Amino acid sequence: MTMEKVCPRCGTRFACSLDAVMDCLCAGVALDDAQRRFIADNYDDCLCNDCLRILRETFYSTGINPRYAPIVKPKSYSE
């Protein structure tokens, strides 16, 4: 069953197939664990595909929240 939702980030109406998530358009937007955690922590409902893509493309480049940044080990001086 498809539901009409309103994106909490941009206000756009979109169709959500939560009961068949693999058929939902959002299944085509690959997000990593930190990005999914950020969405869950900051939004109460699904984001539209445009917002998912924007978040994916800008998440690490805009310094959204350092707590979600991937851990990068500093290079050893002996390398």
**Does a structural domain hold residue 79?**
no
Q: What is the pLDDT of residues 6-52, one digit of tens each?
A: 999 999 998 888 777 676 777 789 999 989 999 999 999 989 999 99
Q: Identify which has the larger pLDDT, 25 or 69.
A: 25
Residue 42 lies in a domain: yes
Average pLDDT of the residues in 62-76: 59
Gap between the Cα atoms of 16 and 4, Å rounded: 6
The answer as to whether 76 is a domain residue is no
Q: What angle do CA 48, 68, 55 make, to 5 degrees?
A: 25
Domain assignment of residue 69, yes or no: no
Tally of domains within the chain? 1
Between residues 60 and 35, the one the model is more confident about: 35
Q: Is residue 33 part of a domain?
A: yes
Domain that holds residue 20: 3-63
Taking the model in full, what pTM does it have?
0.72
Q: Which tokens belong to 49?
A: 């595909």
